Amino acid sequence: MITREELQINTSATPTPPTRPCHQIQEQRPSLLWSGSSVLLFTVRCPEHDPAVMAGTLPQHGSPKSGYSANNTAAVPAITQTDSRDKWSKKMDFLLSVIGFAVDLGNVWRFPYICYQNGGGAFLIPYILMAVFGGVPLFYMELALGQFHRTGAISIWKHICPIFKGIGYAICVIALYVSFYYNTIIAWALFYFYSSFSSILPWTNCDNVWNTPDCTNYFGVDNVTWTNSSRSPAEEFYTRNVLELHKASGLRDVGGVRWQLMLCLFLIFTIVYFSLWKGVRTSGKVVWVTATLPYIVLFILLIRGATLPGAWRGVVFYLKPQWDKLLETSVWVDAAAQIFFSLGPGFGVLLALSSYNPFTNNCYRDAIVTSLVNCLTSFVSGFVIFTVLGYMAEMRKVEVEDVAKDKGPSLLFITYPEAIANMMGSTFFAIIFFVMMITLGLDSTFGGLEAIITAVLDEYPDYFSHRRELFVLCLVVICFLGSLSTLTNGGAYVVKLLEEFGVGCSIIAVGFLEAIAVSWFYGIKRFSNDVQAMLGQAPGLFWRVCWVAISPAFLAYIIVSSLLKAPPLTLFDYKYPDWSITVGYIIGFSSFMWIPIYMVYKLVWTPGSLKQRLAVCLRPERTIPDIHADTLNMATVSQKDMNTSVCL
């Protein structure tokens, strides 16, 4: 096994001679440096010292291996690697990809709703605390892990703690579940986008074939009475024309597949395929559009919203502090869950994206910058949404609270389009709004599927490394077929079920185990040494305490609170039956179960006594980035020459 004292990276072909006595070399800790396209590994041994302790990320061994003693002049292999792994063309490609993944539709619909529901401006206190002590440390940890080990969510556990490899498989299953419903939401947005190319938006009035007698249009009409049975034109367009929910009786009878939505989803997956099929070099270019365009649109919509009558009412409602809410446990749970799902640690995406970085990239700065951008985007999105809600309350002559009852996708597909339909230039604002939604969704889809692609290709390079295009095509087809149930008349019920149980507690539990495995089993000292090898500086005490104690406690708090206080699942007027909740838990367990299954498999198939098996399963199998046989050039170097060849 090659030790860290035996590891040196050099951009030149020949190592430089030492300038200090060899015993001084042993006193200094080596730093692992990465040199772009090539890696030179060779042995450094001193006649005076022959330690058998591995530094940095390596476990301790007993006696030196034969062939590595100071007096042995036998030839030992020096490994020169030509790194064939894809790399980002530019640093901004990586940053925009991470921002695009983290800033998704949830930033626009989930944060504003949770903020006003949990105390307005007062909610920012638990939100910021949970971000500082929980979300950002986990975000930083994943970026550092992916960059150091340069591999995906499955094979990375060979470097960390092999018995937890099932986490990688669980992440891939969860990412599949997300793709089954998330892209359907983007397809809804594409349907709206197509419908927006009209001088009069189809959800403006009640004169359409899908409207019912309950349809009530209050814009531009005096003396309109709004009752509990009243439905706005935008709501009926969404439920009766886009989804056609009235043709489904519930999950027992979801009806047929909507061919219009299937066509929209096909177009979405076509874009996804041609963005991902060549790797990060193509997706890194696409995100220059999909990650930046939403900010341009948000700025336009913010300016337009601020000029609407009643906008100030929405802003006051959004930010007015309710300090008594801070005493409620649910507020802190919502803050913790929001920051976790917003930043996205545990999904394997950050591992995948950062694995294509240069070894010495400043992932610490990247974590801080992208986290700040993500949180600020959520905050600004609240102004975009609530200025419009204030305008609607002014038009309806009701309180903002009565208008802001919609949450989730309904906020984006009913409330906001309804307001847009009654603005000057409604067609233009509708088009750019749904373009923003499509691009926000596509970025997150790119990240989620790239997590699966990178994980599988790194775990099974002999099968898929030269067949990426074919593998991506098969993956996209599987995701498309898995999404068909969400395209039915009752597809919205399936989307809600997958959103609640397909991700939910499963991904939080995965994140919790990942934090435990890295901080407690791999060891915080090892991990800190890895970060120091990349950045030249070890993480501070704050980060180490967060990784070891605070962040795992943060995740455990969310899990326990979610399980103890599970609210009833409803969508519009439909209450999910008990059997569907059972199905939901089965879906959630179907991803998490791979963790204990792999643990049992690993222990059973590892030879030796139980104590020996545990020792092997908990010890990293590999401690340097994977070196594939087809990328190696072997050279033989005399051990005697290497004793005086280089100083680390």
Q: What is the 3-state secondary structure (H, E, C) of 245-294?
A: HHHCCECCECCCECHHHHHHHHHHHHHHHHHHCCCHHHHHHHHHHHCCHH
Decide which of 551 and 641 is more confident: 551
Extract the tokens encoding 222: 């005096």
The mean-pLDDT minimum among 158-172, 226-240, 516-530, 634-648 falls in 634-648
DSSP-derived secondary structure letter, 217:
-
Per-residue model confidence as pLDDT tens digits over 595-639 = 999 999 999 999 999 999 999 999 998 555 444 333 333 333 333
DSSP-derived secondary structure letter, 199:
S
d(CA 552, CA 567): 24
Give the pLDDT score at 377.
Answer: 93
pLDDT at 460 over 60: yes
Cβ atoms of 207 and 379 closer than 8 Å: no
| SS3 state at 352 | helix
Per-residue model confidence as pLDDT tens digits over 264-316 = 999 999 999 999 998 888 899 999 999 999 999 999 999 999 999 999 998 98
Cβ atoms of 619 and 158 closer than 8 Å: no
Question: Quick one: how many helices (H) and strands (E) in the chain?
Answer: 30, 5
Give the pLDDT score at 219.
Answer: 67
d(CA 280, CA 305): 37
pLDDT at 48 over 80: no
d(CA 262, CA 268): 10
pLDDT at 369 over 50: yes
Cβ atoms of 119 and 321 closer than 8 Å: yes
52: how many CB neighbours lie within 10 A of its CB?
A: 12
Indicate the pLDDT class of residue 320, thresholds 50, 70 and 90: confident
Indicate the pLDDT class of residue 230, thresholds 50, 70 and 90: confident
Decide which of 120 and 54 is more confident: 120
Extract the tokens encoding 424: 């000057």
d(CA 40, CA 293): 43
The mean-pLDDT minimum among 116-125, 239-248, 374-383 falls in 116-125
The mean pLDDT value for 421-445 works out to: 92
d(CA 643, CA 46): 6
Cβ atoms of 302 and 384 closer than 8 Å: yes
Continuous H helices in 277-362: 280-290, 293-306, 311-319, 329-343, 349-354
99: how many CB neighbours lie within 10 A of its CB?
A: 23
pLDDT at 644 over 70: no
Give the pLDDT score at 83.
Answer: 56
Percent of the chain's residues with pLDDT above 70: 81
d(CA 396, CA 219): 8
DSSP-derived secondary structure letter, 488:
B
Per-residue model confidence as pLDDT tens digits over 119-173 = 888 899 999 999 999 999 999 999 999 999 999 999 999 999 999 999 999 999 9
The mean-pLDDT minimum among 9-18, 83-92, 478-487 falls in 9-18
Indicate the pLDDT class of residue 531, thresholds 50, 70 and 90: very high
Chain-centre distance of CA 72, in angstroms? 50
Cβ atoms of 518 and 138 closer than 8 Å: no
Mean pLDDT for all residues in the chain: 82
DSSP string, 408-428: THHIIIIIHHHHHTTSTTHHH
Cα-trace Rg, the chain: 27
Cα three-residue angle 166-167-173, rounded to 5 degrees: 90
Extract the tokens encoding 88: 């980002």
> Of 242, 233, 239, which Cα lies nearest the Cα of 265?
242
pLDDT at 19 over 70: no
pLDDT at 643 over 60: no
Indicate the pLDDT class of residue 394, thresholds 50, 70 and 90: confident
Give the pLDDT score at 158.
Answer: 92
535: how many CB neighbours lie within 10 A of its CB?
A: 18
Extract the tokens encoding 548: 């070891």
